[in-house]
């Protein structure tokens, strides 16, 4: 049965550059394989004091970014490259480097195409040298489409390669779910035990052991599709 862990605010505040790490005996949080030398990543916010009357500017009195890292084995890390390449851990592995390269290439291709279509619009005035540049709008669009197409091909090639590697090492492997997380906006910072983060893990034994290691509260839940939880 899935286990819901409640993380108090004292554990997640002042964590910029210092990730909250969930590990237990170097076992994988999803499939229990050892060693779990990789992490699944969740980029989260510690937020206090929602401003009801804000029109612009800060929405919260305090908002800090932090990382949640949950220990996983190499196979589960590889399966994330197939299912969630956009949130792969920025570690020094070859897969992470390829994923970062693809992410940059998607951005560059998209930007080039956008620049081309922007030249078509009246936002760029048709006078002087700008009119010559406007007439060349197809150049960045074509370059952008080529970059996007090559990136898509490259991503498919590496995903097929990784899928074959996973199937060769673990015949019949089915990807297991990432942790589901939900963060709370706190009213104030007075109670360090107030729950700031909930983490739902399918691996019951692992989740209970990890919560006990840190003396965090937890409860079993029979409803993994809880509507109040959002995938992170
Ligand atoms: Zn695993």
Mean pLDDT of the chain: 90
Classify strands 20-22 and 60-72 as parallel, antiparallel or unpaired. Answer: parallel
> What's the pLDDT score for residue 223?
58
User: Which residue ranges make up each domain of the chain?
Assistant: 1-84+178-232, 91-175
Q: Which of 216, 171, 222, 172 has its CA nearest to residue 198?
A: 216
> What residues have CB less than 8 Å from 60, skipping those under 6 apart?
47, 48, 49, 50, 51, 185
Tell me the CA–centroid distance for residue 38 and ligand 1, in Å.
Answer: 9
> What's the pLDDT score for residue 232?
41
- Alpha-carbon distance of 171 to 83, in angstroms, equals 18
Residue 27 pLDDT grade (very low, low, confident, very high; cuts 50, 70, 90): very high
Tell me the CA–centroid distance for residue 77 and ligand 1, in Å.
Answer: 7
Tell me the CA–centroid distance for residue 102 and ligand 1, in Å.
Answer: 24
DSSP H/E element including 209: helix 204-214
Tell me the CA–centroid distance for residue 146 and ligand 1, in Å.
Answer: 36
Tell me the CA–centroid distance for residue 78 and ligand 1, in Å.
Answer: 9
Tell me the CA–centroid distance for residue 172 and ligand 1, in Å.
Answer: 14
Residue 227 pLDDT grade (very low, low, confident, very high; cuts 50, 70, 90): very low
pLDDT tops 90 at residue 51: no
pLDDT in tens, 148-190: 999 999 999 999 999 999 999 988 888 999 999 999 999 988 8
- Alpha-carbon distance of 180 to 73, in angstroms, equals 18
Per the listing, tokens 């910072």 go with 189
Q: Among residues of the chain, what percentage have pLDDT more than 90?
A: 69
- Alpha-carbon distance of 152 to 93, in angstroms, equals 21
């Amino acid at each position: 049965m899935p286990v819901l862990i409640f993380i108090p605010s004292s554990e997640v505040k002042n964590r910029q550059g210092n990730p909250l790490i969930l590990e237990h005996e170097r076992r994988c949080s999803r499939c229990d394989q050892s060693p779990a030398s990789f992490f699944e990543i969740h980029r989260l916010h510690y937020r206090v004091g929602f401003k009801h009357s804000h029109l612009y500017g800060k929405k919260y009195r305090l908002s800090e970014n932090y990382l949640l890292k949950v220990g996983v084995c190499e196979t589960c890390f590889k399966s994330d490259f197939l299912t969630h390449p956009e949130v792969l851990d920025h570690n020094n592995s070859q897969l992470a480097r390829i994923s970062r390269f693809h992410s940059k290439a998607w951005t560059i291709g998209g930007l080039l195409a956008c620049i081309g279509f922007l030249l078509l619009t009246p936002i760029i005035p048709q006078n002087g040298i700008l009119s010559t540049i406007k007439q060349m709008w197809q150049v960045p669009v074509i370059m952008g489409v080529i970059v996007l197409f090559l990136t898509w091909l490259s991503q498919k090639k590496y995903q097929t390669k990784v899928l074959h590697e996973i199937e060769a090492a673990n015949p019949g492997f089915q990807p297991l779910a990432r942790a589901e997380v939900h963060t709370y906006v706190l009213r104030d910072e007075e109670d360090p035990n107030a729950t700031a983060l909930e983490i739902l893990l399918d691996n019951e034994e692992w989740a209970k052991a990890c919560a006990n290691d840190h003396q965090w509260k937890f409860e079993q839940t029979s409803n993994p599709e809880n509507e109040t939880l959002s995938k992170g």
